[in-house]
Chain A
Amino acid sequence: MPEPPAAGRAGPASAKRPDPPSGRCWHLPGLDSEAVAGEYEATTETGGRVRAPRLTTAQAIHVASEVRAAALEARRERRLAEVLDAASRAAGRLADPGDPAGREAADVLGRELGWSAAASGRTLRDMAEVWRRDALADLLERELGDPAVLDAFRPDPDRPGRRRRALGAPLQFLVLSGNVPGVGVTALLRGLLARSGLLARVSAREPGLPALFARLLAQEDPLLGRTVAVTWWPADEAAPAWEAWSARAGTVVVYGGAEAVAGVRARVGAAADLLVYGPRTGIAVLLPDAPPGTAAALARDVCAYEQRGCVSPRLVFVVGGDALDAGAAVAEALAAEAARRPPPPLSSDEAVRIRAVRAEAEFAGLAQGASPGRVFGPEDLSWTVLAGGEPGIASTALPRTVWVHAVPDVAALLALLAPLERRIQAIGTAGDRGLAELAEGAAALGTSRVAPLGRLAWPPADWRHEGKHQILPLLSWTDWEDAAG
């Protein structure tokens, strides 16, 4: 099992965080950098500056045209196998500590997240599991049956006399609003496999990695490098690229929160397909026969991505048990995990938010008298368990922070979770008693994955993210019926 990230420089927020990012976050094929009039600039969560060229409408359109032309050329000049080779090599280099590019990637990511380069390197290596050539080829095989449809017409095995071909839109516009480490690279890989030209707007919080990937791809294969454009602009700016890129894309893919999604939805042309990966959360369920060691497995899932991921379990439900007992066990496991893998330093904002949820829970418990909740966690805020109180579904993504509630049975749990329909990404489970009922309920709620705790944070390469296929939604099919068919 991949190891969770950890920081070399662990300790309280007052400990020095890595220097903020200042790296280049753009890769714009065809742009005459001499003609760029100015830059967009912003301060990131970790206090770094993000800068990117201020494109005019004409420049944004020119980049889109160049990328489209290169993508159409690549469809003629490159076989899928060559795309797989080059793309997986470029992505693999991001996670290779022996490659200067891998060291740069770990450095960029570490500075963006405020993690040590060692911790970000480990996270990149976890992510790279799904970027490997065999994993990508397997994914295509599983979704398409015959991936060669991405190169040419192929006989339809079930329909004699019919051939079929699949291609993505010539231009795909990706809005990478999220900051889960590496997800932007995964999104670019999916687009490349769909044989699309890619126009990507990165998030100010994780701006560096997609552009670095695009530059590495250009090193591996200059033509493919010209099929990807990456840059950043402030979300609230009326940047010309918003209009120029969304209007030209046949497919628009959005990662991020409700606001980001709504903003993009309003801009996308009626003819474009819109694919949304919105806000979701992970949940952990301890069934009555949960085996010993469950809390330790849960703690690994909690610490894996510092609760940033949509699979990260923020809410823990103990079925037919006691919330305070379970909370104490989870607390003990998180303390042990913290000793093994010290957490990255907290940002000031994270510390404030953790202290706020602790204070609210603690005072609510003190005010209740009967069945009070309890807050577990060290003074340095490095992990927090908010156990007991009125069972609920409120939670916030905060580093190593979990809410633990007791429910009498699986039916009661499913009733409690009803408002989260299509908002639960994954459910991590421990124990068998009630598991089938829980899995059936999870499917009804639109949950994309049910997996044992300890594996929740590491979805397999062919996981149907948000319940969707990864490649199929990006494709358009052409059936060619023979005269004889």
Chain B
Amino acid sequence: MADLHTVNKSPFEKSSLETAIKCSLAGSSILLIEDGVYGATKGTVAEDMVKGAMGDRKVYALKSDLMARAIKDDRIIDGIEIVDYAGFVDLVEATDKVQAWL
């Protein structure tokens, strides 16, 4: 069972990303959207947590939300895949269900 976990809040505002990682199984996907994309940036106190999750989960970030927040490619943790809304839809289809961590 591989679920898609969406996280829309910054890891510095709320613990939603941490909880999503804790509650997601190996093989699941995590998609960062809205303010959640701040969790995709390098050099933060959340980076190790995210990289740890990437060991057995796939992490994605939504392109338009990254762009709006001036997060350029070189500031994004290596290995995080950037997707657009069409890609978001594809992820929903490719996984078993969506869990929204608000």
| Co-assembled chains A and B | no
